[in-house]
Amino acid sequence: MSKPPPKPAKPGQVKVFRALFTFDPRTPDELFFEEGDFLYISDTSDSNWWKGTCRGRTGLIPSNYVAEQAESIDNPLHEAAKRDVVEVLLSQPNVELNQQNKLGDTVLHAAAWKGYSDILEMLLNKDPRTDIKNNEGKLALEMATNAMCASLLKRKQGSDITRTHSNAEEYLDDEDSD
């Protein structure tokens, strides 16, 4: 007797499975993966075919080709930033960009530390906070391991400061009605 399929992941939550076998797709919407690969599953609503991502590509996978033991990731964007699969998660509803992991890092910290400037740019287009410090008191900018990441974060912080400054000027320019 087989076990019932796992419960669908909550919106914004991704389940991680390990491939038990190599799968060669037969249709364009199916996803190729090899035995031992990690698969990031975002939709288990069909008990036989799940929507997942592996190596930056997304497609359908047969549920019986993956390990039954699923690991839930509390901060999926952090993991995605480290593994270069952010685009998939950014398309999910209710993804929290400013959530901190146990080290106090946000997804910006993770992407900057890994040097993923393309990922960082995608994240910055979603307007996350750049002023959050991790447990070591470091901003994402201070974690940047290459010049491109640092430049993107500096530009974003500059636009945030300009916006805040102009809002403050508008507030100060308002006449008191007293």
Q: Which fold has domain 15-72?
A: SH3 type barrels. (2.30.30)
Mean pLDDT of 124-139: 94
Q: Do domains 15-72 and 76-173 have the same CATH topology?
A: no
What distance lies between CA 118 and its chain's CA centroid? 13
Tens of pLDDT, residue by residue over 41-99, are: 888 899 999 999 888 889 999 999 998 555 556 666 666 666 556 776 777 767 788 98
Per-residue burial over 135-162, b = 16 or more CB atoms within 10 Å of its CB, e = otherwise? eeebbbbebbeeeebbebbeebeeeeee
The CATH superfamily holding the domain 76-173 is Ankyrin repeat-containing domain (1.25.40.20)
SS3 158: helix
Question: What pLDDT score was predicted for residue 7?
Answer: 54
Q: Where are the domains of the chain?
A: 15-72, 76-173
d(Cα 112, Cα 140) in Å, to the nearest integer? 6
Question: Per mean pLDDT, which range of 5-14, 26-35, 46-55, 82-91 is the poorest?
Answer: 5-14
Question: Residues 6 or more apart from 18 whose CB is under 8 A from it?
Answer: 36, 37, 38, 39, 66, 67
Question: What pLDDT score was predicted for residue 69?
Answer: 52
